[in-house]
Structure 1
Amino acid sequence: MGLATNLRILAVVLCLAAAQPPISANSLKTFTAKYGAFDDNSLFAKAPALIGPNALQITPDTASNLIPFTNQSGRVLLKQPFKLWKGPNNNSSCTDRVASFNSSFLINICRLNNDSTGEGLAFVLVPDFNLPNNSSGQYLGLTNSTTDGLASNHLIAVEFDTFKQDFDADDNHVGLNINSVVSKKAESLNQSGVQLSPTEAKFYNVWVEYDGVKKAIQVYIIEQPEKDGATPPRPDSPVLEEDLDLRGWVDQISYFGFSASTGNTIELNCVLRWNLTVEYFSDDNGPLIKILLGVGLPVVAAAVAAAVAVAYYCRRKKRSMPINILGALKSLPGTPREFEFKDLKKATNNFDVKKKLGQGGYGVVYKGLLQNEGLEVAVKWFSRGNLKDQDDFLAELMIISRLRHKHLVRLLGWCHKNGKLLLVYDYMPNGSLDKHLFSDSNSKPLRWNLRSNIISGVASAVHYLHNEYDKRVVHRDLKASNIMLDSNFNARLGDFGLARALDTEMTSYKEAKGVPGTMGYIAPECFHMGKATQQSDIYAFGAVLLEVVCGLRPRTEVGGFQFLVDWVWYLHREGRLLDAVDKRLGEEYVVEEAERVLLLGLACSHPIATERPQAQAIVQIISGSVAVPHVPPFKPAFVWPSMPMALEDISQATTTMTDTRFFSISTSNFGTGSTLLENSEVNEIELI
């Protein structure tokens, strides 16, 4: 057979497949899980939520300096997502059915010390693992003051509310929430004898049942006589029922779990048992396979031959196109948009050099204006070795596309043309932080209140990457030139060209022929481990803190020292720490804040990784709610290996040492005598 004949046969086969009747119930799969004991393997906790062996603590049950009781929110979700309907993500699907589910759980919502209640617990169906910022108090870990009510939330929740807000009927009700904490429907529990948050410990069994055929949800609740006793039968009558079509509200692929919050008043929000059954849709191609087998093996063989021929032709036609990348780009999560090359070319005036914003090892960035939308963008022409490391690159882009935080530069979309990749980001009108810190000495210095706000924003972004995103992400290239400033000088951390996810163990520097980064920001242990960790990010953040306050680059010869950190440590020892403050500020700064940030910068710059504060503590130290850790007057020596190491360091660390002898080096003259460091123009370094 010729190519044309094979193509015609394949077209007939595909048409037959497309002409099949709607998806039947047989294409549904059933997932069932029963949790009497909980573990981290199947569940994900968004801090400060905790997964204990006998309970899910959705909000903290133990107060500490780092995690107080008040104004907290948390989530615990099942790691496995579920496809809730077949067909496109709209109401024109070829089947009208959506997935059904039945969730039953035992909850303990108990006020502490007989105080007033606050705030509540919810069973949720959400698009991802992200916990909105500032979602404590009335927002139940679902939304915040900015996002509440937005259709883009794509969430449904059954709330068990224990605190009366202005929009609530009372302080003891169950409600159905769609993209908002204002319930679409709510029912008081006062008449049913249920007190969700009593002064003494009580346990309640809850059933949330959803019928994907009738498209209706029902909620039942009854008191559990004893915590560890047998579950009583489900009541005959629901306390809440409502018609509900999941399609149109939630994402086609969504996650099940729990969310809760406390406000100025507090309570325990615990789940002690959880059973979940989901009748969901699978992505297999069973109907198509049956059609192919039905028309006979010769046709199958012809179709395969045609497909091979077409693939070969396309490969010859577009050898430069990495098909894996193109397919992955089209299926990226987080809804990044595909841009037309011609539109980006027009937006950047044919990539005019005058539109060039910057250039690095990963590409050239241009300013662009999408005239039809009136939208300014930053267009990055990616040039990473012509995308040789496809798997590495795709894993990295999967991380970036889902990051959502107000202090991160947002990826808007992408464009693929003739083997070249362009990424499109939000445009930052005030450029990068380094241009404001290290500009001409005659120019107006960056005001202290702006510096303080920038520091706080970057700390929040690092905390999100390390603790709040569904994967633990290390940035690996924190520095002033990668901190962008929007029109209001709010910080946006960008350039994730080196970012890696710890959960996928993609922190190694092996693909970069050594240790990439900029001298002064690289933690000393990275030269031995060959891997990045959260602690190495903290070290780089410490360098950023010092340069923001001092107005000097980390690798600056000052006061007889080769590095800024050593000079600041010397001033700390001499009791003259504030002498490090940028002289251009004069007395226009807050003394207490400057001293706190300088000490925090030294604490983050500790040569021993395990002595550095973690991101969550850093956020609280900057706010002034937690004291700065003790900073010794003399800079400690770097010791390798540092013992005891943090758990994630042990899992990530690799070294070429042949024995376990301890050795130390002075970091005040780190690198002296190296020909790499004698050239003041060298920023990017490689150690082979």
Structure 2
Amino acid sequence: MKGLVLWLIGFLILHLMVVAIAETRELKTKTYPFGPFDSSYYDNFAVIKPATISNDALQITPDSVGNFSLNDRSGRILFNQTFKLWDGDSKKIAVRKVASFNTSFLINVFRVNNSVPGEGVTFLIASDTALPPGSSGQYLGLTNSSTDGLSSNKLVAIELDTFKQDFDPDDNHIGLNINSVRSKKTVSLSDFGIQIAPNGTKFYVVWIDYDGQNKWIQVFLEEQDEVSSPTPSKPAKPVLSSDLDLSSIVKQDAYFGFSGSTGSHVQLNCVLRWNLTVQILPGANKGSKLFKIGLAVGVPVVVLSLLAIGLTYYWYRKWKARSDPNILGALKSLPGTPREFKFRDLKKATNNFDEKHKLGQGGFGVVYKGLLPKENLEIAVKKFSGDIKGKDDFLAELTIINRLRHKHLVPLLGWCHKNAMLLLVYDYMPNGSLDAHIFCGSEKTTLNWNLRYKVVSGVASALHYLHNEYDQKVVHRDLKASNIMLDSNFNARLGDFGLARAIENEKTSYAELEGVPGTMGYIAPECFHTAKATRESDVYGFGAVLLEVVCGQRPWTKIGEFLLLVDWVWCLHREGRILEAVDERLGSDYVVEEAERLLLLGLACSHPIASERPKTQAILQILSGSMAVPHVPPFKPAFVWTSMPGPDSFSITSSFNNTADLTPASSGWSPHYFSRDVQGEFSDGSALM
């Protein structure tokens, strides 16, 4: 009690003296999520014609031919609000404080009639919204022939250029532009396997991170399958990095937005989603006035304040040591006493959680690669988000995975809880996640057939252990390729237990109260009605993994008229052409019997009716070849939901009976069932461990 009184006295004295200083030092951020775009955005955006907002997108250049030509056009669309991007002495650059920001947006640059594209689109930081006259063609809506290169332009842009001028490296590059269309730095995107404006429709997510303290900008790009697909993880490696001091270029108050142009060749420049987070700098005048008031209090109060700071820090540390009793109590009482790591060791191992060490990011935290030099041990450190929900998931993951012992599960090494920061430490998996090898693009060789079969067999073994051999019976609830890790011998290790829950032996499901957990494409249809995760819904997720491993396609891939991968495979099965679903990158280097077995098993696990899906014991026997795959009807059965009286009563009618084989090949359920809590919306959401 005495300590608490001293803590309060110290805090009050400290508050009277340093509230002004703290106010000037506190750096807040504000986030603006935009899209899908409709006409209401005209109220908040400066849309400089001929740019428009239509078809759920920002159309930076006209989106249809109408009664005018698409040639030689330029446009701008900017968020109609200025942000203070730097503060300090206008004559002394060295003492200025520069705001940080990060942004991500989804774009589609479309060739009209598959013609030669031109010219490009930019992300723009401008000191005004005006569109310069004559800014079409090579000038990208930024400058014109008389103003290009002038410091009075006061603009910075990241260009995605699709037409080669004499000063460009090629017709497919990214560039950093400062007051000019002649880029300070350019990078050819062909080296990354990226084509800004390919034939056909392609979507790219662009991330731009600006560090105001270090005056450094980085740009990342990654393809997204469809507009409605989950946003891919931000790549570990940027496509462009450069030093950049905004305070020496733009005015203190500036706009964020986009510009674009066409020339003798045309393209459609569409922005479909946009997220913007900007650091809010405190007011310079207000801070200075308050600081002077603080100094007028006098030296005696300063001395008292210093004493108060010391007392406050001391009692804060003692209080913090007793804080979060649920977490600390759970950590200290874990069976087997997993190792408690020192925060400073993990901070050093990850180079202060450097972005360069980032392995991936999911809904509950970020994973970093680390090295403990004294032990010569490579580790993966999962840094949880600090909100209360994150803490609950931290406890869930830790409590469950600490007691799990299986060769196909990611082993937990220990934990750390410091300054309200929650960390889990795992064995490092040198071959990364399964999806990185299946969906590797052209930069490296895809996983061969033997390894693919080995991986899915290992995952099935881990799932059987969770469902039947571990005494509490665990449902994983987020089974997908990005949560399957590969060790140095390409053995599968199932990870990410942030959504996992143990269920009592006499029960079959875990009820959710906050929407449907998991990732789109892997969630069983009944979960959208019951909000319950079961062993059967885990099997559905395993079926989605089987199909993506064999086909080399994401579960939500649209193929022809089919909106989901499973529907396309079911159609091929009906037509006796199921082996056409095998990943074409494998060529003929696969075992026909095994491929057919995995495809049919994938369909069986994807059965819309939960009770018709095979159990994990049967799955293991099927994979080993000791049991035949259950009969898969030629048409995908429809999911039939009949609500019954009572909050916990429901029935599902199996469509295997009677007219099941005449049911059209469709998913049987509508996208409107998706919960807003489902992971995979437009943000950094790819899970890893």
> TM-score when scaled to structure 1?
0.49
